[in-house]
Structure 1
Amino acid sequence: MPKKKGLMKQLPLVNEEVSIGDEEFIVSKTNVRGHIIYANRVFMEISLLSEDQLINLNHNIIRHPDMPKGVFKYVWSTIKKGQEFFGYVKNLRSDGRYYWVFANITPEYDQQGNLLGYLSVRRKPPASAIKVIEPIYQQMLSIERQAHSDKDAVDKSLAFLQEELKSQNLDYQDFVINLFHRKS
């Protein structure tokens, strides 16, 4: 199984979704740079990676290429401000298949208020939410592919997302939480 992020990126992608159970939670902790320091059993099972293969690697080892970089810029800007992040993420398994999660990422601090890292808890998202978020992410990816530089790509992609949400009078957090609780 891959030990380096580059090997995961070279996997042949399999257009087949794998779901976590309705009552299962994927839990991981990272240091301040995003390197995994803890992964629970469910995380190892769904990613098909062992603890040894995950520990000390950047959490983006499981990033699916269908995920826009603009989303992760938003993630990092949110959690670096000490705020909680909620959102939908498509992740890559080591067999090339994928899984969607509804993620919650929170900063963790020591008793003196120093940032230790981040705790991420992910659960199965509603299929109705993925039907809404996936076309937005696809449009963001399209914008990223057309840009002239990586920074330009990320900035334009994120601007598109923010404009979409502005038209609905929502911020990203409210938007994704509303999708999670929607019954249709």
Structure 2
Amino acid sequence: MRKPKVTPIDKEVFLKEEDFIVSKTDLKSRILYGNKIFIQISGWEENELLGQPHNILRHPDMPRAAFKILYDHIENGKEWFGFVKNLRKDGGFYWVFANISPTFDTNGNIIGYYSVRRKPREGFKNVIEPLYSHLKSIEQSGGMEAAVDEINKLAQKLNMSFNEIMIKIQKGIIDEI
């Protein structure tokens, strides 16, 4: 299936506190399952989402470096936490705080990925939007690896992993970088 072309517009949709978005993908990140809230907030119909690559939701404001770190984690059997700006079918967007984990078979082999996303805390954008904008500008001038290096420098400076930084932003412990 070809990924449909969606033109972003400046229309934000918000999750409710009680909303949890759940999806499952195969090893190529094709969507195998999405719960009702996932389907509703994405603006797509279930039959339009199933079988599509999860990046059907990738908003162009997202730095590629965030996804590089994501896949480095989950392909190595580790979970990942982070903030993601997703693109809706109508071009609008919504923010989530995501936890993505590999799914294993009985022999310990990774067979897919499982994601639970929830509403980010108030004020997270004050930290995340400048960080992601900075990473996007680094990607434009120096490539994705330069942006990954920038994230690694930040983690080293804060003496935390990427996941720890994201969790502390979500908890309101870090409110500026």
2:172: which partner in 1?
A: 182
Match of 1:127, SS state, is: coil
Q: CA deviation at 1:50?
A: 1.0
Q: TM-score, normalised by structure 1?
A: 0.90
Q: Secondary structure at the residue paired with 1:107?
A: strand
Aligned equivalents of 2:86, 2:19: Cα separation in 1? 16
Q: CA deviation at 1:30?
A: 0.2
Divergent runs of 4+, >3 A: none
Aligned residue-pair number: 174
Quote the residue 2:66 is aligned against: 71
Shift of 1:4: 3.6
Aligned partner of residue 116 in structure 1, secondary structure: strand
* TM-score, normalised relative to structure 2: 0.93
User: C-alpha displacement at 1:6, in angstroms?
Assistant: 4.2
Alpha-carbon distance in structure 1 between the residues aligned to 2:124 and 2:152:
18
1:63-102 to 2 correspondences below 5 Å: 63-102=58-97
Q: Which residue of 2 aligns with 1:5?
A: 3
Q: C-alpha root-mean-square deviation of aligned residues, in Å?
A: 1.4
Alignment of 1:137-176 (within 5 A): 137-147=132-142, 153-176=143-166
1:32 to 27, 38, 55: 27
1:165: Cα distance to partner? 2.3
Identity of aligned residues (%): 40
What amino acid is aligned across from residue 67 of structure 1 in structure 2?
Answer: M
Amino acid at match of 2:154: E
Consecutive unaligned residues in structure 2, runs of 5 or more: none
Residue 16 of structure 1 deviates from its aligned partner by: 2.2
Structure 2: distance between partners of 1:97 and 1:120: 21
1:141 to partner: Cα distance: 0.4
- Specify every segment of 5 or more residues in structure 1 that has no aligned partner in the other structure, as ranges: 148-152
TM-fit CA distance, 1:162: 1.5
Q: Distance in 1 between matches of 2:4 and 2:137?
A: 23
- Larger fraction in helix: 1
